Chain A
Amino acid sequence: MSNQYLVEPCLDFVEQVASLGGDSVKKCYQCATCTVACTIAPDNSPFPRKEMIATSWGLKDRVLGSADIWMCHECGDCSELCPRGAQPADVLSAARSAAITEYATPKFLGKMVNDAKMLPLFLGIPAAWFALMAFITMTMGESMEKLFKGFGMHWHHHTDAPIASADFVSSWLVDVTFVPLLNLSILIFLIGLIKFVKDIHANAVLEGKTDKTDFNLVQYLVSVVKAIPTIMLHKKFNECGENKSRALAHQMVLFGFIGCFIVTAIFFVVLYIGGVAGPYDQINPVKILANIAGVGIVVGSFLMIKDRLAKSEPSSFKDWALLVLVFGLGATGMLTQGVRLLGYIDGLVGIAQVVSYFFYYIHLILIFCLFAYLPFSKMAHIVYRVAALGYAEYANRK
């Protein structure tokens, strides 16, 4: 018999999943009620029963390399019906979290990001960085302008607004931070993704979950594109029974981020190619989109926080970290703008400027966190889930 069937349980993995909120996994006695309850599990080799035993046996590669854990939307139907008090939804969530850590490079960073003790350090880095950037912007404006002129560019983006965030931290410095950071994140993601897709394919072949033994990249990418409408409309998410309301909240946040991404891209072009600096008019259609997106993020994440507070069991650090981050991003963004607009009222300029800069400072720190820690945090699900759902489409998993 070949060694592909040899299993060597990894006790650390069981421990890891338990610490990530999957501590109920060992209660499972394999009755498969969860699998029957799940509305979105495919007929062939359905989940989450097999993931439950594989996790409790510490079969790390089998669990983390399975696309199935990403098909679960954590509706909790299975957890609700489990006769033994195991929480398959939480276990799969913990497995996803472990998978993100597993596929992110470098690994130590992944572990650190999800460690609550490291939080001060991870907030401190951007805080110090943007303090430095603000210092440069506010004290070295003239010298920078001179320097930029040498290249035929302007340091200052002139504006008539009484308060402009660019006067606190220059748009140049913001973008010189975030553009490379985002690219670095994408690069890290790419490294992880290549291994991830390879693993989930191998796992699907081993467990007979795919009708394709050879992997065709082009076909796979076409499948990913095909999966996009399902993802955008939260079709699978809406099939879930328990706490359906989460789907709407999640959709609001997702669309909010997409909106913000579009707005940022447009203004990036407007600023650096069109040379028109912000703040822009409130009636500017792009600005309107930005505000709608901002409200979407705030309201969506607020609903999610409410939902999570109502849960009987405490949620893990990674769950809270992401929710607070998302809500904080939306809230500080909206507050920065709101307080900035107060500057148009006579007499409030002074105080409004300070408060607005403060919110903007927090906002920048949070954006930094979002980008820098993206491949390591729960936020990475946006990439792995899309890749896995695309694979399910490719593997014809129904």
Chain B
Amino acid sequence: MRNAFLFIRRHFNFLFFLVLQIIALSFLFRYNKFHEAAFLNVSTEITGRFNERYNNIEYYFQLKKTNESLVQENLRLRQQLKENYEGPDSNRRQINDTIRADSGRSIVKYQIMEAKVVNNTTALRANYLTIHRGFAQGVRTNMGVTGSQGIVGSVINVSRNFSIVMSMLHPNFKVVAKLKKGGETGTIDWDGLSPNFVTLHAIPKSAKVAVGDSVVTSQTSSLFPANLLIGTVDEIVPDNSSNFYMLKIRTATNFSNIEYVYVIDNTQYDEQKALEDSTRKKVQ
């Protein structure tokens, strides 16, 4: 026993070092798995305040770019309006309306709120955005986030006034995407090489793909409404060992100058998730 105490006293510095290393590594590897760590809520609130101060200054230098992207978005929205009025499928809309009347209440599936980006990285291995909206304003985890040009990521952590968004530039971010022309679906992920490109996997070789084709979100993605732009095909890599293409996609969003994003609330997300989970339990 005495020897044990002597050993501890003698190597106290080394043992102390080991303990701190183990604490640090356990933070690191637990976080990577479950996206949570001790005090992360509190620390997000504190670092969020710093980020907000910094962003207030940075904001003035980017006003011109912000204006431009807002003008472009306005233009796009106005064009959509025109299309809607002259749309040939007004019949289908009416069918939807009768269902609504039957159920006695209107069904809003997606609600959208704007949020200001107060912190953003693109240079790291795993990138996150901090936005200035938290659970007090109605954000919860697993909400999709889009920018004015294309999708951005999904919410993974929420504090009172701030939320952390896992950017599309993160090795764990996956989203179901489809080719706008043909409708074939595949999954998008990021290979970590350049902030301007992501990869679309599992598009069968029977699909007709050309460079410049649009890639949009699929209706099977539970985070995003269908047909939001993700990017355009930049390069087609034929994978000889399989029947699938690997497509290099240029992202529609320019991640280096995001100022505002839209958080998409799928009001039926919980219901859909609960049904799917209970089915999985039943089958097993």
Q: Do A and B come from one complex?
A: no
Interface residues of B (CB under 8 A from A): none
